[in-house]
Each structure stands twice: as C-alpha cells, then as structure tokens.
A and B are shown apart, each in its own frame.
Chain A
Amino acid sequence: MLIGIKNASKFIGISIIVCCAVVICTMFLNFYFDVQSVESQITSELSMIFYDAQVSTAKVVCMVSGGCLLLTSVVMLMFYIKHYIDTHKKELGILKALGYSNIKVAKHFWVFGMTALMGTVIGFGIAFLMMPRFYALQNEDKMLPEIVIHFHPAVFLYFVILPTVGFSLLAIGYAWWKLKRPVLSLLRNDFHSVDKGKKRTDDKLSERSFVDDLKRSTLKSKKALDFFIIFASFCFSSMTQMSFSMKDLSSEMMGAMMLVIGLALAFTTMFLAITTVIGGNTKTISMMRAFGYSSKDCCKAILDGYRPLSYMGFAVGTVYQYALLRIMVDIVFKDVEGVPVYKFDVPVMLVSLVVFIAAYEILMFVYSEKVKKISIKEIMIE
C-alpha cells in the first residue's frame, strides 16, 4: 500500500474540522428546510418577522461557518498532501522510474477522501442526534407552529457525499499535478527551488544572529503553517468570545456548542501545525544539537517566531466576532423584539485572552520538551 495508515492518521485533524463544519451546516440547513414547511401555517405578523429572522440566521450561519470551515479543510488537505509528497518524493520517484504512470500513483491518494468521509458521517450523525433539542430551542417561545424533523436527501448529498467525492478528487488531482515533475527531480535529494528574482542583497541585515535568521526562514518557508497558526488563534479568540455573547443573544446551547467547536478547531489546528513544524525541522534541530546549540536556542529558532502570529490571530478573531455579531444584531435581527442589546464584552475578552496566553504557553512548553528529546542521531537515520 502506497499510503500507510500512519500517514492517514495525521489527517484526523481534517476529519475533525470537516466534522465540525458538517454538524453546524447540517443542523442549520436541515432547520432551514423544515422551517419553511410551517410558513403557510403562520398567522400573526410578529411570528412572520420571527420566522424571517430564523430563516436568515440559518442561512448566514450555514454560509459563514460552513464556508469558513470548508475552506480551512481544503487548505489543510492541500497542505498535507504537499507535505506528504515532499517527504515521500523519493518513493514516488522510484515508482515513477519503475514505470508506473502518474495517474496510477495518484489514484492511491483517494484514501485522503476517506478522512473527509469519516468526518462528514460522524458530523451528520451528531447533527441528527442534537437536532430535536436544537429545534426545540430555536422555537422556545412557541412563536412558530411545531417544526418536525425531516431527513432531506439534499442535505445528505451536500454535506456527506459531495465533500467526500470532492476531497478524493482534489487529492488525486493535486497529487497528479505534483507528480508531473520529471522523475529525476523527485529522486534528487533536498532539491530546493529558489525563485530567481528573489533579492539576496540584504548584507546590511546579515548582522543578525543565525538563530534569528533561522527563525525568519522557518516562518518564510512554510507559509501555510503560518496561516494555520493564525487560524487556530483566530478560532480560539472568535469562538470563545462569540459563545459568551451567543449565550445571551440566542441560547445556552448555541453558546456551548460554539465553545466546544471553537476549542476543538483551535487545538487540532494548532496541534497539527506545530507537530508539522517540529517534524519538518527535526534534521535542522538535531544538526544544531550536534554542533552544540542548546535546546533552548533550538526552540527559540523553531517555535518563537510563531508567537506574534498567534497573538495577531487572537486580535483578528476579536474584531471579527464583534463585527459579525454587530451585523447579526443590527441587520438580521433588526426588526425582532426582545433581542438583547449587544455590546463589546471587555471582561469576556480579557478572560479569553488570559486563557489563550496560558494555553499557548503551556503548549509551547510541552513542545519545547519534545524538541529537547530529539536525538542527535536523528540526522544519521535516513
């Protein structure tokens, strides 16, 4: 088998994100369909306004969170396939040299679509388990006639079948495209493509120490990882803060759901990103250790650069959730009575920030311990 289970296990992160997306989208889209079936039974004008608000919320939430999460999982999948190919270039090159056609090799990458299937099926199941309570809460004040849960094949198609097929095709296509490179460039060792236009005359800046230089180049060489770290902090910040406001604006359940999903997303993304950072730099770290750099220096060079990024992600998340809720309250719920006033919640932001800093630093500490354990002999094991 070309792609081992060990590699596929790395894709659990994608499963989790897909799962979160599917839970939210399935619930809201299903609700969106079911709520429309009661439209004809609505009599009062007040109920009608409430009805309209419910329909638009369902649409907005479905699009914003679903779209955002789907995009993230696509980027993540691409990144991991690229990473997989880069680290298994030689094996793939050998297969190609032996005469396997690109498409024959690429076909095996359908396995990555299974990570999506796992996430979507579990997400779909969870959504249906939670739906009775969710429907009841959406209609807590009995403003609308009773909404019955139906199974909509379209929802199943959109959120289970399409993502799975889409992800499989995406994986195969991307792998195929990557494999189009000539055999030799796959077989050659650490062949690094450099864009020739790059400016190389920062001589004045070369007074920077090696550790600082390495810090910069770590950040620069894997931009996707930078994005994930920002995204993880963004998720943490926006979802935790939003969950508290949601508690007041919507329901405790919505708040709790958001909190759980936010934390799950933030931690999986962060975990996967940092693991990849360390995995990708193992050789560098062990070489530095061999030369006599302390493990503190190694951690500084490899991990410290991400700190500003994650704080940036937190700031962006704070602004984002405020803007989103502002729009929800001022535009979507504009005509609905009884919606509490929404203000920016400073104490919640501060608590969230403190928890964020603590969690981030603990995580970094755990990882720096992991860096310390990297054996110097690692470099000699090819």
Chain B
Amino acid sequence: MIKVKDIIKSYGNGESSSQILKGISLEIQDGDFVVILGASGSGKSTLLNVISGLERPDSGKVFYDATDITALSDNQLTAFRKENIGFIFQQYYLLPDMSVDKNVKMGADLAGNKDYKTVIKAVGLGEKLHKYPGELSGGEQQRVSVARALAKKPKVLFLDEPTGALDEQTGRQVLDYICKLKKQYGFTIVMVTHNLNIAEMAKTVVKMNSGKVSDIYQNEVQKTAYEIGW
C-alpha cells in the first residue's frame, strides 16, 4: 500500500516562490487503478513525481508499506525505483538511436528479465522488433514505452497523460493494452490525466484543484477503453 501524507511542494524561492502542492494526503491500495484528475497546471505531474520518487517534497512523507521513500538517500531511492516503479510519459522519450527491442531491453535489464520479447508481442509490436522509433507512429512509440516500463516488472506503474499526444483511436488502443496487461501482471496503476472520460476507467478517482485534493471517489463500474467517451 502507498500512503501519501501531508505533501507540500513549492517551486522557486523568495518572492517568486509558489506552492504547487498544498498538503496532499491519500492512500493507494495494492492493485488499485487510480486516476488523478485535474485541470492543466493543478499540480498533477508534480504529485506524480513526488509519489514515484522522482522528486522530493518540501515536507510530508510517502510510505510504500513501511518504507518512507522521502527519507532514502539518492542511491537508495534509485535502487528503490529500480525495484518497484515503471514510468510512461506523454512524450515517449525513447532512445532514437536504438531499435525497439533495445529500447525495451533498457527496462528488462533492470529486472534481469530475459523474456522481454513476450512483452513486446503483448503490445502488438512483435513484427517491429528491429524498427527505430523514428519509423513508428505515435501510438506505436507509446506502446514501446509501455513495453519498456512493463519489461522491468514494476509493482507500481505511473503514467503521466499517456494518451496526451495521441489521437482518439490510438489513445484507446494504448489504454486498452495497459488494462489488459494490468490484468495479466497485477501491478498498481497511478495515472494522471485531464480527460474526464478516461477517469471512468479507474477504480479510484482523485480530483485535484490548485494543489489540493478536492474529491476522492470509487467508480462502481470500471469502463473499458472502448466504452468511454473521449
């Protein structure tokens, strides 16, 4: 279980300093599918980065079971991410000079996963192992980044607007792959979006408004990527 307690985070200093996260607390159960929903600029990405250990909060704690990751040293935090966390960003950040299978290997090597090609097949890119990112469409690139994140067998998968750069059709497809793989592997999902419809796929929805949690609720039925509006 992930327990987030009283997170405060500001950027800048002195006069120009502004508080982006103004005391955020929430709990995420193992195997949950959480969507963090909010307008652009409300601090969603910042919160995601703090929970996933990419950034340190000014104050507050983030517990993974009994471990407070805000108390870890940089090296310990790196090792922690290696063991537990997978990322998917709006921009895919693939390595342009490496083929699809080598991009996925970046994730696989961290978990000593020799069987990473099955993950590439699972996102439907079995035929494109040796292609380079520049030769793929946006949706395909995002699926590579899904495969890369899953090949390291994360316990928690963090996604920051994963469909933000994709059109509706490809967006649905990518989300569908992610849900299918969640069923198969059983990881926890924490996804950031400003798209209300995507929130209908979640089990838990956390609504954010200018640095604060304004509402948390559970969806009674979780819709699939093809059932939601867009």
Interface centre among B75, B97, B99, by most chain A C-beta atoms within 10 angstroms, is: B97
Q: Tell me the nearest residue of chain A to B135, going by C-beta.
A: A194
- B98: chain A residues at CB < 8 Å are 213-214, 217
Complex Cα distance A292/B158, Å? Answer: 14
Q: Taking CB as reference atom, which chain A residue is nearest B165?
A: A189
The answer to whether A289 touches B78, judged by C-beta atoms less than 8 angstroms apart, is yes
Q: Is A376 interfacial (CB-CB < 8 Å)?
A: yes
Residues of B within 8 A of A (CB): 45, 49, 54-55, 75, 78-83, 85-87, 89, 91, 93-99, 101-102, 105-110, 130, 132-135, 152
A78: Cβ under 8 A from any B Cβ: no
Q: Which of A285-336 contact B (CB under 8 A)?
A: 287-295
A190 at interface (Cβ–Cβ under 8 A)?
A: yes
Number of CB contacts from chain A to chain B under 8 A = 89
Whether a CB of chain B sits under 8 angstroms from the CB of A43 is no
Size band of the interface chain A makes with B: 20 to 34
Which of the 9-residue segments A204-212, A223-231, A256-264 touches chain B? Answer: A204-212
Main secondary structure, interface of B, reads helix
Pairwise interchain contact A200-B81, C-beta atoms closer than 8 A: no
B55 contact set on A, CB distance < 8 A: 376-377
Q: Are A209 and B106 in contact (CB under 8 A)?
A: no
Given A217-B98, A220-B97, A382-B91: A292 in contact with B134 (beta carbons within 8 A): no
Please, how many angstroms separate the alpha-carbon atoms of A194 and B97 in the complex? 9
How long is the Cα–Cα vector from A292 to B108 in the complex, in angstroms?
A: 12
Docked CA distance A278–B113 (Å): 28
Asked whether A291 lies within 8 Å of B134 as measured between CB atoms, the reply is: no
Question: Which 10 pairs show the lowest CB-CB distances between chains A and B?
Answer: A292-B82, A192-B134, A292-B81, A200-B130, A192-B96, A210-B109, A221-B97, A210-B105, A217-B97, A190-B96
Write the nearest CB–CB distance from A295 to chain B, whole angstroms. 8
Determine whether the beta carbon of B106 is less than 8 Å from that of A210.
yes
Residue of A nearest to B77 (CB): A292
B133 near A190 with CB under 8 A, answer: yes
Q: Which residues of A contact B95 (CB under 8 A)?
A: 214, 217, 284, 287
B97 touches A288 (CB 8 A): no
Contact at B85–A292, with CB atoms within 8 Å?
yes
**A295 neighbours in B (Cβ, 8 Å):** 78
Do A291 and B133 form a contact, CB below 8 Å, given A200-B99, A210-B102, A380-B89?
Answer: no
